[in-house]
Structure formats: C-alpha cells, structure tokens
Structure 1
C-alpha cells in the first residue's frame, strides 16, 4: 500500500519526502577556545647574534606607510636597537622609554606596528600590540617572533 503525500499547513509536501531547506547552524553554549599560543624555543643571547631593529617613534599616531616608501628618506625620529626575535614588547617599551621622554610619562601608551613591503612593493603598517609605560598589559609578553616579525621589518611606535 502506497502512502499518499499531502500538503502540510505550510504548503510543503509531507509524507516522508525530504525538504530542501537547509538545517540551522548548531547552537553553541560557549565560544570555541582560543588557539594555543605559539611557544618559542628560548634564544641563547650569549651565543646568538642580535639583529638590527630600526624603530621609528611618533607622538599621538603612527607614521603613514608612504613615509617609508623611499629608501633613505625614512622618518627622522629613528632609534636603532640591537635585539633578538624573542624580545618582548615590554622589553622594547623599556628601550623606547630610554630615548623618548614622552614615553616615560605615567599615563603614556605605546602602540607597536610593523612596517614592511607587501608583494607589490607598497609599504604596509600592521599594528601588533599596545603597552603602557606603567603597569602590565596583556601584550607585554608578546615576542617579536610570535607576532611574525621578519628581519628587515621596521618597528613604528606611536606614543600616546
């Protein structure tokens, strides 16, 4: 005996026929956990040669990517630091405070950005973290390598 299909109250065919409606997304009680932080091998700073990091500081904002477009015509407010890829933003904050009096103020915030050329040769500015001159912040312990720093990138620091 064949079961007859009939229309239900929504005008859809019933009687075991599959409907072409998509299923709703599953309901999650909690958001997914964050990805685990990349753990880096510690660098032996006694045996590993440091890299030259060119740091450019500016009060109240970051430089524009175009400011770095012409080699040799980079912004004038440059500090050159020898460091390692495992250097944290907190360590770099302390170094910037030594050369920039504005960064020593109690309420100073430092915004860090990498400046590098994209695949078309245009410079890109990518903000990677924020620290405070006094007090601890979550970004303090981020290392350059964790933030995908590449040797040759510039570091732009906005002091606010």
Structure 2
C-alpha cells in the first residue's frame, strides 16, 4: 500500500483582519488614537487579500444582528496610520445586507484591489 502526500503551496498567506463595527456611522480617528485602546466592538477574522466586501458582509452579518436587517447598508472603511503616526479612516465601499439587481453595490471589490495593507483595520458602519 502506497501513501500519497499532497503539499499545497499557497501564493498568498491568510491574514488576521481586525474588524470594528458600529451602528449609525464609522468610528472616529480619535477612537484609534491610542494603540491597545481601540473600540471594544472588535471581531477578528482570518481571511485573504482577495476576500471581497460581499464575503466580509456575510461574516459581519453573523456577529452583528443590525447588519441582518433587510434594509441595512454596510459602509467599509480602512483605518491606517499616516506618515505622521496618526490614524485616518478612509471609506472604500458600501454593500447592502441583501443585494439585488436594482441596488448595485461594491460587493465584488476585494481587499487587495482596494489598497488594503496588512496591519490596517477595517471599520464597518451599519446604516
């Protein structure tokens, strides 16, 4: 009897994505001003750079009941340090909780194509 060993080589490694959610709007830059004192509403997700905003929407819906509403709109923003060391919050796309052909959104955009960098945070406003 012969044992076969399969080795899978990945061209990209998974990353730990720190996701912060907030109902009614994004967190402010001041909320991220001190390392270790980020907002408490954090979810950590292991994902890849090719994860789309639609895939991330579905993951947020699992942990945030407000995101499951039929009329919920999720606004995604990257949180990253500037050259001066202060954090900035930059909106990068929006998705509907339940998309349809009449309401196109940014669900097909991937983290990597939106200039996400390892170490950035993801802030999700549930509107």
**Under TM normalisation by the shorter chain, which class is it?**
0.7 to 0.9
CA RMSD of aligned residues (A): 1.4
Task: Indicate the residue corresponding to 2:77 in structure 1.
Answer: 113
Task: Indicate the residue corresponding to 1:99 in structure 2.
Answer: 63
Count of residue correspondences: 116
> Is there any run of 5+ residues in structure 1 with no aligned partner, and where?
1-44
Pair 1:64-2:24 in alignment: no
Deviation at 1:49, TM superposition (A): 2.7
| TM-score of the two chains, using structure 2 as the length reference | 0.88
Task: Indicate the residue corresponding to 1:145 in structure 2.
Answer: 112
Larger radius of gyration: 1
Task: Indicate the residue corresponding to 2:50 in structure 1.
Answer: 86
Counterparts of 1:1-160 in structure 2, within 5 Å, are 47=10, 48-136=12-100, 137-160=104-127
Ranked by relative contact order (alpha carbons within 8 Å, sequence separation 6 or more), the top structure is 2
Query: Residue 57 of structure 2 aligns to a residue in which SS?
Result: helix
Equivalent-residue separation in structure 2 for 1:135 and 1:153 (angstroms): 27
Equivalent-residue separation in structure 1 for 2:83 and 2:126 (angstroms): 29
Structure 1: 4+ residue segments shifted above 4 A = none
| TM-score of the two chains, using structure 1 as the length reference | 0.70
